[in-house]
C-alpha cells in the first residue's frame, strides 16, 4: 500500500518544538490525529490520505518523532501533552475540530475531549479509550516506581544501529508488520556516530507518577458528550470485554465496532475499510 506524501508542519508551543504531518486541503474540516506510545505522526500515513474530505493533522507528541524532548525535570504523563496540543490547535485556528487517537493517543484524546467537549465535534478512538484503573491505595507504590524508573531511564542511552535497515529489522515480529513499520521507524531515527539511533526519549518507558482511579476514568468518559466511535482490533490490545463494557456504560453517544487486524489495524490492509467507516461516522 502506497502512502500519499504528507506536508511537514512544525509549531513552537511553551518553549517546545512540535513537528507534524498534514494531509488534505487546509480549508477542509479539521481532524487532529494523535499517535500511540513510541510511534509518531507517520502512524497515520496510510489512513489519513484516505480521509479525503478532511484536513488531517498528525502531531509528533513530545519525546517522539521529530518533536522536542521535555526538560530533565519534566515527566511524560498522559495529561502532560494537553497544553501543547491546545497550542497546536490554536495555531491552526481550529476552534471546532474532530479528534482521532490510537492506543495511548486514544487515551490522550479522551482526556482532551473531556476537558474541552465544546470544541470537539466527533471523537474517534482506535484500539484504546482509557487506561486500566489503579486503586488509590496503590499511590505510594506507584510514586516509588516512578522515582526509581525515572532515575534508571535518565542514565540510559538509546541503542545505535549500523544502518536504518537494522533499526527496521529490530521491529520484526511487532505491530505493525515490518513493511509498514518502516514508516514509523524512519521518522523515529536520526544519524549519529556509528550509524543511527532513536529520537525517542527513553523516559517514555518509565512509570507514571500517578495512575487514574476508577472514579477518574468514569468522570472522563462521562464528560465525552460528543458522538464517539470506538474501533477495537480483534487481535489488538484493546479487545478485552471490560474495555468496551466500561466505554458503553459511561460514554453517552458511543458506537463500538471490532475491526479485523492487529493493534496497528489502521496501517494494515483493513485501513481502507477503516477509513470508510470513519468517514461515514464523521458525517453523521
The residue whose grid cell reads 522515582 is 147
Please state the domain count of the chain: 1
Residue 223 lies in a domain: yes
Grid coordinates representing 24 are 488534505
Domain that holds residue 75: 1-133+213-284
Tell me if 236 is assigned to some domain: yes
In a domain, 49, yes or no: yes
Cβ proximity of 114 and 251 under 8 Å: no
pLDDT at 238 over 60: no
Q: List, for residues 191-224, the tens digit of each pLDDT value.
A: 999 999 999 999 999 999 999 999 999 999 999 9
2-16, 103-117, 263-277, range with the lowest pLDDT: 2-16
Q: Are 53 and 279 in contact (CB under 8 A)?
A: yes
> Is a pLDDT exceeding 90 seen at residue 173?
no
Determine the pLDDT at residue 83. Answer: 98
Residue 170 in domain? no
Q: What is the DSSP string of 85-115?
A: HHHHHHHHT-SSEEEEEETHHHHHHHHHHHH
Tell me the pairing of strands 254-262 and 195-198.
Answer: unpaired
Q: What is the pLDDT of residue 215?
A: 96
Is 183 a member of any domain?
no
How would residue 244 be classed by pLDDT, with cut points 50, 70 and 90?
A: confident
Instruction: Measure the CA angle with vertex 146, ends 219 and 83; round to 5°.
Output: 50
Residue 54's Cβ-count burial label (10 Å; 0-12, 13-18, 19+) is buried
DSSP for 23-54, please give it.
ES-TTSPEEEEE--TT--GGGGTTTGGG-TTS
State the cell numbers at 59: 502531531
Report the alpha-carbon distance of residue 59 to residue 57 in Å, rounded: 7
Pick left, alpha or beta for residue 202 (phi over 0 → left; psi -120 to 50 → alpha; otherwise beta): alpha
The catalytic residue positions are 103
Task: Convert the pLDDT of each residue in 60-73 to its tens digit.
Answer: 999 999 999 999 99
Is the residue at 142 inside a domain?
no
pLDDT above 80: residue 237: no
Within a domain: 205: no
Q: Is residue 199 part of a domain?
A: no
pLDDT digits (tens, 9 = 90+) for 81-100: 999 999 999 999 999 999 99
Rounded-to-integer distance, Cα 178 and Cα 171, Å:
7
| pTM: predicted TM-score of the whole model, two decimal places | 0.95
4 vs 231 pLDDT, higher one: 231
69 Cβ contact list (under 8 Å, min separation 6): 62, 63, 201
- Distance, in Å, from the CA atom of 162 to the CA atom of 18, rounded to the nearest integer, reads 28
Task: Compute the Cα dihedral for 40, 45, 50, 52 and give only its sign.
Answer: positive
Question: What is the chain's mean pLDDT, rounded?
Answer: 93
What does the alpha-carbon distance between residue 164 and residue 167 come to, in Å, rounded to a whole number? 5
- Predicted local distance difference test score (pLDDT) of residue 174: 66
Give the separation between CA 238 and CA 131, rounded to whole angstroms.
10
Domain of residue 239, CATH code:
3.40.50.1820
Beta bridge partners of 230: 125, 256
Quick one: pLDDT at residue 170? 85
Percent of the chain residues past pLDDT 90, beyond the cut? 85
What pLDDT score does 1 carry?
A: 44
264 pLDDT above the threshold of 60: yes
Amino acid at each position: 500500500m502506497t502512502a500519499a506524501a504528507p506536508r511537514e508542519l512544525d509549531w513552537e508551543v511553551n518553549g517546545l518544538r512540535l513537528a507534524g504531518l498534514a494531509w488534505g486541503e487546509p480549508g477542509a474540516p479539521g481532524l487532529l490525529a494523535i499517535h500511540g506510545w513510541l510511534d509518531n505522526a507517520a502512524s497515520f500515513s496510510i489512513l489519513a490520505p484516505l480521509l479525503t474530505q478532511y484536513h488531517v493533522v498528525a502531531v509528533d507528541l513530545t519525546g517522539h518523532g521529530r518533536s522536542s524532548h521535555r526538560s530533565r525535570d519534566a515527566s511524560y504523563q498522559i495529561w502532560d501533552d494537553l497544553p501543547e496540543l491546545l497550542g497546536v490547535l490554536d495555531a491552526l485556528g481550529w476552534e471546532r475540530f474532530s479528534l482521532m487517537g490510537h492506543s495511548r493517543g486514544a487515551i490522550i484524546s479522551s482526556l482532551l475531549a473531556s476537558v474541552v467537549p465544546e470544541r470537539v465535534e466527533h471523537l474517534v478512538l482506535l484500539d484504546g479509550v482509557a487506561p486500566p484503573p489503579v486503586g488509590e491505595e496503590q499511590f505510594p507504590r506507584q510514586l516509588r516506581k516512578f522515582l526509581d524508573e525515572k532515575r534508571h531511564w535518565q542514565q540510559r542511552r538509546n541503542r545505535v544501529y549500523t544502518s536504518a535497515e537494522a533499526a527496521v529489522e529490530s521491529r520484526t515480529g511487532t505491530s505493525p508488520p515490518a513493511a509498514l513499520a518502516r514508516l514509523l521507524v524512519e521518522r523515529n531515527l536520526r544519524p549519529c556516530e556509528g550509524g543511527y539511533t532513536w529520537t525517542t526519549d527513553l523516559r517514555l518507558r518509565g512509570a507514571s507518577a500517578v495512575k487514574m482511579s476508577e472514579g477518574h476514568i468514569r468522570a472522563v468518559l462521562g464528560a465525552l458528550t460528543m458522538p464517539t466511535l470506538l474501533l477495537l482490533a480483534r487481535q489488538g490490545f484493546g479487545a478485552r470485554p471490560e474495555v468496551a463494557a466500561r466505554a458503553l456504560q459511561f460514554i453517552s453517544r458511543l458506537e463500538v465496532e471490532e475491526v479485523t487486524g492487529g493493534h496497528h489495524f489502521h496501517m494494515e490492509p483493513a485501513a481502507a475499510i477503516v477509513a470508510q467507516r470513519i468517514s461515514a461516522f464523521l458525517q453523521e
